[in-house]
Structure 1
Amino acid sequence: MTTTTRGEGGRPDLDLTVSRVIRAPRAAVWDAWADPASLEQWWVPAPQVCRVRELDLRPGGSFRTELSQDGVEFGPHITGCFLAVDELERIVFTDALVAGWRPAPTSFVTAVITMEDHPDGTAYRATALHRDAADRDRHEELGFHDGWGTVTRQLAALVEVRA
């Protein structure tokens, strides 16, 4: 079961979190993040389609995805930079920076993804950190709980079938 909450991160007043035990080894969950073809299969809520343009999974590396409603015309989704990458444990990215630590024109969120061993597979947690309560509230209104919950379920379905 996927759980979404308000305030599980370091700043309960500003953070939104989705967590789930995924019944697959941590390496399989990590690989679904690290492989662009796998990421495209789960990174946006179906029936939308994702295209990974850049996935340089290292601190300072580019993270750029596009999104399509019809699978034909794609528009921007995430344009950001990885801040921290601890293999098999943690991925931190933000849209406040782009590749090479360059400032982005606008920013909305920093995300912290963690993976830990669990007796049933992998304890997966994704936390969205926001600048202020207004951004957090806007993210909730845009559908954080449904959207991030959906993609976490899609991630679980992908790796659990493979496991």
Structure 2
Amino acid sequence: MTQDSAGSGEVAVTRDVDAPPDVAWRAWSDPDRIRQWWGPAGFSCPRADVDFRVGGTTLVAMQAPTEYGGFLMHNRWTYGALSVPTRIEFVSEFADADGRAIEPAAAGIPPGVPARVPHVVVLEPLPDGRTRVTVTETGYTSEQARLQSQLGQEQCMDKMQAMLARR
């Protein structure tokens, strides 16, 4: 672990997307769009129940491909701050199908992933009508958990980038 990541347990992923900030914002707030990019490569998102407001929650489901057992995993995002169209702050927790928080170990997650993972999404307009999207997660307590989350977030952002390129 580097000095910076060891101290913060941070994951940060940045992608420049082919869409203005208001369109990139909808990728986070529109259930149909979330279902197109949520989950790592090969995973689908069969469910995105969205209450996109401060204090609201989004419940997303991630479906593994059959070669990984086809399991279904839920996450609940609870919004703490929204600044249209530049910043989204939420806390992600593993959840059951009813949206009740569960401990990471109960979801089959290895040690080092906190029960509550703060996220900050920054949408920065670029001069060419594109948007730089940066997602920062904090709180990981092991390098293995941090790296696994980094890979998953990179794959989600790759899917978002591809979705916005074909809009």
- Shorter-chain TM-score tier: 0.7 to 0.9
Equivalent residue number for residue 147 of structure 1:
152
Gaps of 5+ in 1: none
Q: Could you tell me whether the CA contact under 8 Å between 1:18 and 1:127 is conserved in 2?
A: yes
Question: Which residue identity lines up with residue 81 of structure 1 in the other structure?
Answer: T
Question: Which residue identity lines up with residue 52 of structure 1 in the other structure?
Answer: R
Q: Map 1:42-121 to 2 at 5 A.
A: 42-70=37-65, 75-95=72-92, 104=101, 106=103, 107-120=115-128, 121=130
Inter-partner Cα distance in structure 2 for 1:50 and 1:112: 21
Equivalent residue number for residue 159 of structure 1:
164
Query: 131, 135, 143: which is aligned to 1:122?
Result: 131
Question: Which residue identity lines up with residue 62 of structure 2 in the other structure?
Answer: L
Equivalent residue number for residue 30 of structure 1:
25
Question: Which residue identity lines up with residue 39 of structure 1 in the other structure?
Answer: I
Secondary structure of 2:8 counterpart:
coil
Q: So what's the TM-score if we normalise by structure 2? A: 0.75
Inter-partner Cα distance in structure 2 for 1:81 and 1:23: 27
Cα root mean square deviation, aligned: 3.0
Inter-partner Cα distance in structure 2 for 1:6 and 1:160: 35
Deviations 1:47-95 (A, max 9, x none): 1111334211111101211111248x66333123111111211111113
Q: Could you tell me whether the CA contact under 8 Å between 2:8 and 2:138 is conserved in 1?
A: no
Inter-partner Cα distance in structure 2 for 1:6 and 1:25: 35
Gaps of 5+ in 2: 104-114
Q: Could you tell me whether the CA contact under 8 Å between 2:47 and 2:59 is conserved in 1?
A: yes
Inter-partner Cα distance in structure 1 for 2:61 and 2:94: 17
Question: Which residue identity lines up with residue 89 of structure 2 in the other structure?
Answer: V
Aligned length: 148
Q: Could you tell me whether the CA contact under 8 Å between 1:40 and 1:51 is conserved in 2?
A: yes
